[in-house]
Amino acid sequence: MEPFQSHSIRQMTCFHSHQNVTAGLTTRQGGHSEAPFDTLNMGLHVSDKKEDVLNNRRALAEEIGIPLSRWVIGEQVHGTEVAAVDQRSAGAGTTSLQTAVTNVDGLITNEKNLVLGAFFADCVPLYFADSESGWVGIAHAGWKGTVNGMAGEMLRALQYKGCKLENIHVVIGPSIGMKHYEVDDHVISFIPESYQKECVINKGKGKYQLDLKVLHRRMMIEEGLRADNIQMTDFCTYEEEKTFYSHRRDQGSTGRMLGFITLRT
């Protein structure tokens, strides 16, 4: 069953079985940005007009019902660092790049009504929720974050905070699909051969097609996460041009979706 469902013109949501969790990914529709960022670009780190981006963020905040002053955004450096945040980080990265939580690609919290956010345009959004202990998290993973174990770092960070592995549920969100993600020998060299039959197609001459979503799923199962605790979307950011931004499809001149998750009171 597809975990992402359309909620409005601006967002698709997941974790529908978790009543105390609101999570999703924005679309590229229903915003203020002009081409090539049309229209709901959420990223300040592309050359869009800052006020348009902030208006886009405010529109989503109003739709979710939690103001930007209660959002937390990480710097995103294609690493695997995870930060546990609380109300002391509220507002980080929401109106400027300089105030983002530094050097992290993963965020976790057990604070109610605190929105954790990350930006995407082909990289993989990873959503985590443990309703038993009341922790949630979000992570950003391109190929570097994926092969270096971003998913495992998130699982370990949550367990360190008291979550039991059997209670952690994960949703793997929309990213570039295998059909459109060609990589070279350098990237493939980081992936264990035992994983490759599930997520790699060798095209010859040093070219491969890589399925980042399936690779994440395999790596999390290897970490001990139950397979039935993992949901994986079929949406491809490259193919769904009207719905999603794609860095590769749009040759770098494009906007960013916002992945978000929050615990409700």
**137 within a domain of the structure (yes/no):** yes
Q: What is the pTM of this model?
A: 0.98
Task: Determine the length of the chain.
Answer: 265
**pLDDT given for residue 181 in this prediction:** 98
DSSP code, position 149: T
**pLDDT given for residue 166 in this prediction:** 97
**109 within a domain of the structure (yes/no):** yes
**211 within a domain of the structure (yes/no):** no
**83 within a domain of the structure (yes/no):** yes
Query: Which residue positions in the chain have pLDDT lower than 70?
Result: none
Which residue in the block uniquely carries the two structure tokens 């869009």? Answer: 48
Tell me how far CA of residue 43 lies from CA of 110, 148, 211, in angstroms.
25, 24, 25
**218 within a domain of the structure (yes/no):** no
Q: How far apart are CA 123 and CA 202, in angstroms?
A: 21
**How many domains is the chain partitioned into structurally?**
1
Per-residue pLDDT tens for 18-29? 999 999 999 999
Range of the domain at 57: 5-176+225-263
Q: Are 245 and 121 in contact (CB under 8 A)?
A: yes
Q: Are 80 and 103 in contact (CB under 8 A)?
A: no
**189 within a domain of the structure (yes/no):** no
**194 within a domain of the structure (yes/no):** no
